Amino acid sequence: MKDKVVIITGGTSGIGKACAMAFGQAGAKIVFSGRDAQKLKLTADELTQHGIVNLPVKSDVSIEAEAQQLIQATLAQFGGLDVLINNAGISMRALFQDLDLAVIKQVMDINFYGTVYVTKYALPYILKSKGSIIGVSSIAGYRGLPGRTGYSASKFAMQGFLEALRTEVMHQGVHVMVACPGFTASNIRNTALNANGNVQGESPRAEEKMMTAEEVANRILKATQKRQREVVMTAQGKLTVFLNKWLPGLTDKLVYNVMAKEKDSPFKTINK
């Protein structure tokens, strides 16, 4: 990663911030985006304190023009691009029957279209450098999770998009990878949207028992260096992918039972 230029969307917290630190400490020059100017500055200061060359860019990647500006700012500062990590994302939790459809649109705009927009404008430069395009996905991209219809749809869409893109560029030296961390201690559940599009506020899961964002970032770094096709990071995730392929009916029941045990699960109203 020495002197490689790496863009990380959603880089001011959680997995994105941890990736900025991990790739930066491996020698890369880091460009990271976010929508909060204060968080961008705090993250930039922290990276600088660790001796990491970095460029914070205020950008909402769900808006095409701002995604394009992110790439333009990178080129203006560093003159090229080697790795794109599509990490910006938002989650949701509600039964589809109760859900305001605007919530699904918002999740798709950030998780899917954000990936499409940034990748579109980054691709010519990734082709030139024969670099890497990475999508930070989820087990929800392999197996639909009840109560998270919009989130699952966005991750399925992301993975289908990247799989098709990988095939298109397979003879052009570009590496395309999907990284699926499983449940990770980050703020994505705290900022998840409820049925009405409001922020959930409190995580329904035991965050302290999950894989840390730093561990996820280090695995993404190593998998990028090895140019792996995909990386599923937890035993639970690998088992879910396997069972869903070979025993889908059983997996329906198992996944339902696991999600129904969450704090304030929306399924409790059905089960009464």
How are the residues of the chain apportioned to helix, strand and coil, as percentages rounded to the nearest 5? 50, 15, 35
Q: 124-160: b or e for each residue (b if 16 or more CB lie within 10 Å)?
A: ebbeeeebbbbbbbbbbbbbbbbbbbbbbbbbbbbbe
- Residues 121, 125, 142, 151: which is the catalytic one? 151
Sheet holding 83-86, edge to edge: 54-58, 29-34, 5-8, 83-86, 132-136, 175-180, 230-232
Positive/negative CA dihedral, 57, 59, 64, 65? negative
Which structure tokens are listed for 165?
A: 């893109």
Counted residue by residue, the chain has a size of 272
Helix (H) or strand (E) holding 176: strand 175-180
Q: How far apart are CA 5 and CA 159, in angstroms?
A: 24
Is 117 in the active site? no
**Within the chain, what is the greatest distance between any pair of CA atoms?**
60
Catalytic residue numbers, as ranges: 151
